Amino acid sequence: MATLESIRKRGKIVAFVVGFALLAFILGDFINSSSTLFGGQDRSIGEISGNSIDANLYFQKVQELEDLYRQQGRLEQISGDMVRSQVWEELVQDFIMEDEYKEIGLAIEYPTYSGISPEEVFDMVKGKNVDPMIRQLFTNPQTGEFNPATVINFLKQMNSSDATMAQWLQIEKELLRKRISTKYNNLIQKGLFVTSMQAKQEHFERNLLTNIDYLEMRYNLIADTAVTVTDKDLEKYFEANKYKFRQEASRDIAYVSFNIAPSKSDSAATEKQVRQIFEEFKTTDDAESFVKRNSDVDFNPRSLKKEELTAPFDTVMFAIEVGSIYGPVLDNNYWKFAKLLSRENVPDSIQARHILVGGDKARATQVLDSLKLLIDGGADFGQLALQFSQDQGSAQNGGMLEWFTEGQMIKEFNDACVKGDLNKLQVVETKAGMHLVQVLERKAYVNKVRVASVEIELKASPETRNMLYTQASAFASSASDAETFDKTVVEQKLNKLIANNLTTGASNIAGMQESESLVKAAFRSEKGDILLNPYENKNPVFEIQDRFIVAYLTEVREKGTPELESIRQELEFEVIKEKKAEKFMTQFNDAMKSAKSLQDVAAKLGIEVRTTANVSFGGFQIPAIGVEPQVIAHATALPLNKMSSPIKGASGVFIVVVTSTNDFKPADYGQEMSRLVNDLQTRSSFQVYQALREAANVVDYRYNF
């Protein structure tokens, strides 16, 4: 098929091509105008290393890429949250890495490609070392083969179409960005190495297994209420462990949801409507047109296998006579009824070949008729396909499309391949152009049905929606702050829900998609405030999908080290554990003073000696003990039969004795060394960027827009 057509169909691949640059945020006049809402205010959408990112730059990138996706027909399929997050991450990455690249001469400067030579670009696109991204984009989806001629053909068309030019500029930009990133990461990876001593030690730790006896005193032996914690204890622990509590900016909210669901009267009215439509359906002569006029779900012209239908239609449609009607039934909030149009045994796998000629229909038909005569006279189909077919991907393979499933191709092409005679040459018209088609083989025959299915959604009526909105508005009027909110919830016997750790730039709350307006409102409010919708004139009632929401802000966390009071509960938990550990360690140390064995210590403390096997330094937990990295470290480092000192663990305090180890033979460390180097190199690109990002102190202000 035509190259541009195939590219437009590859939404997932193009998402990779533009990298982080996906978009679906409809901004309209709000972006382009100097809105009075932000008039005179800072237009910074974020900061990186103390430098502001202009909001106009962000919105410009969004608009450009939105246009690209609209041209490809993929805009409606991309979630807004994915769009905004990936556009933002691309900006952040570009800002952070730009200086890094410049310092080592890898910066991309159009049109000279500083850091990448023109010859290298040629090689990436159509040379001996074609970039994998180009291979993916220009691989024929029907044959799975890449043909450089397809790339050349695309580039020849580039100047004739603004859309094609825009597509290629995005492809080229991403190619260069990816190649520069690869070069940068390669420079780092080539400096990473592992010594033979490291490989030897790693091999030893991964293969050594120990069996241990141990004593344990778990923290849950002492009730938390039996431990006294003072403010000084908390302050001391906090000062010593601030690094553990660093946080990103986030917010917590509490909210009440008024779910928009159909009432009993809505259900009755919808059922009455369905019954009326059903009666009309029984007498119609054109079921397909009827479905298109009356169904909330589009007509599906394909023949369907049993597993492609939902119950009970998956059984009924294969049992009733052609022309029969089944339903109506209520299924997953949809009333459904269907007419069986046909049932037949058709091939599920087809092999065919074709020659595609586009342009003027009359001329294309004339060309194909001539080719048909030549082939009937003994000419080679494959040679003619290579010479005349505009589907260059299949042309390189003699026009072969290999095996495809019934229903995979354009309807006219599919029908010709399913119903046409084997080996007979057919001229078929599709939206791609005129085809000369030859079906070579059909197999895997299965029973399939074509159905005309009417599906009518059961949903809340405008009257029901208005009633629920009135209830939500009345609640919001009574709840002017956090205190009255909670009081009104109790009085009206409502269910208060919680959403914690909302982050900047997010647009989804757990269990509630497309809730960006709530997140933005949370970041514009003070603790205890009722949230006001920034998109709807500060309305306290948010309409999100199938519910009305009223919420208030319960907690504010800014980026960096939190205030002690905001994490008091977490600190108390850690300090209580510390105090319990100190007590147990003292008890163990006292008992060990005159003890000669683990059994002596156990007898003095009145506890039991326990045993576990196959403790490995490479493991993350110990059988019968749990996740205890400190205990693992001691158990794999202790000499045989030597009692450890008390070990402060995650769940308690332990003493261990290694009773035996496995007898493994040290092997060649070359393989271990290769594994360690590969592991380092695999992690390096991610860890380097994360380190640079952390040092850049990225601040996200997108909630202001």
pLDDT digits (tens, 9 = 90+) for 440-472: 999 988 999 999 999 999 999 999 999 999 999
In this predicted structure, the answer to whether residue 165 has a pLDDT above a threshold of 90 is no
Other CB atoms within 10 Å distance of the CB of residue 577: 17
Domain count of the chain? 4
Is 437 within a domain? yes
Q: Residue 21: its pLDDT value, please? A: 36
In this predicted structure, the answer to whether residue 30 has a pLDDT above a threshold of 80 is no
CATH number of 606's domain: 3.10.50
pLDDT band at 109 (very low <50, low <70, confident <90, very high): low
My answer on whether 435 and 383 are in the same domain is yes
Distances (CA, A) of 313 to 288, 326, 445, 531: 18, 8, 21, 46
Q: Residue 142: its pLDDT value, please? A: 56
In this predicted structure, the answer to whether residue 223 has a pLDDT above a threshold of 80 is yes
My answer on whether 35 and 86 are in the same domain is yes
470 token code pair: 């009135």
Last residue of some domain: 413, 428, 459? 459
pLDDT higher at 506 or 416: 416
Global pTM value: 0.63
My answer on whether 451 and 483 are in the same domain is no
Mean pLDDT value across residues 342-365: 90
Taking all residues of the chain, what is their mean pLDDT, rounded to a whole number?
85
pLDDT band at 641 (very low <50, low <70, confident <90, very high): very high
Is 201 within a domain? no
CB of 302 closer than 8 Å to CB of 450: yes
Q: Residue 151: its pLDDT value, please? A: 81
Q: Residue 615: its pLDDT value, please? A: 92
From CA 81, how far away is CA 83, in angstroms rounded?
5
Last residue of some domain: 459, 477, 493? 459
638 token code pair: 């202790």
pLDDT band at 83 (very low <50, low <70, confident <90, very high): low
My answer on whether 382 and 394 are in the same domain is yes
pLDDT band at 1 (very low <50, low <70, confident <90, very high): very low
Last residue of some domain: 661, 677, 697? 661
Is 672 within a domain? no
Length of the chain in residues, anyone?
A: 705
Residue 37 identity = L
Q: Residue 78: its pLDDT value, please? A: 60
Q: Residue 154: its pLDDT value, please? A: 78
Q: Residue 122: its pLDDT value, please? A: 82
My answer on whether 65 and 158 are in the same domain is yes
My answer on whether 330 and 432 are in the same domain is yes
Mean pLDDT value across residues 604-615: 94
Q: Which residues 6+ apart lie within 8 Å of 302 measured at CB? A: 407, 450
CB of 208 closer than 8 Å to CB of 617: yes
Cα dihedral across residues 545, 546, 551, 554: positive or negative? negative
pLDDT higher at 186 or 140: 186
Q: Residue 114: its pLDDT value, please? A: 60
- Which structural domain range is residue 96 located in? 3-189
Is 636 within a domain? yes
pLDDT band at 28 (very low <50, low <70, confident <90, very high): very low
DSSP string spanning 521-550?
A: HHHTS-TTPBP-BTTTTTBS-EEETTEEEE
My answer on whether 391 and 447 are in the same domain is yes
My answer on whether 549 and 603 are in the same domain is no
Residue 670 identity = G
Q: Using one digit for the tens of pLDDT, what is the confidence trace for 676-695?
A: 898 888 888 889 988 998 88
Residue 256: φ, ψ to 5°: -120, 135
Q: Residue 138: its pLDDT value, please? A: 79
Residue in the structure block whose two tokens are 């906090």: 238
Share of the chain above pLDDT 70, in %: 88
My answer on whether 478 and 515 are in the same domain is yes
My answer on whether 343 and 357 are in the same domain is yes
My answer on whether 439 and 475 are in the same domain is no
In this predicted structure, the answer to whether residue 488 has a pLDDT above a threshold of 90 is yes
CATH number of 362's domain: 3.10.50.40
CB of 620 closer than 8 Å to CB of 630: no
**Which of 72-81, 605-614, 634-643, 652-661 shows the lowest per-residue confidence on average (mean pLDDT)?**
72-81
Is 197 within a domain? no
Is 675 within a domain? no
My answer on whether 589 and 624 are in the same domain is yes
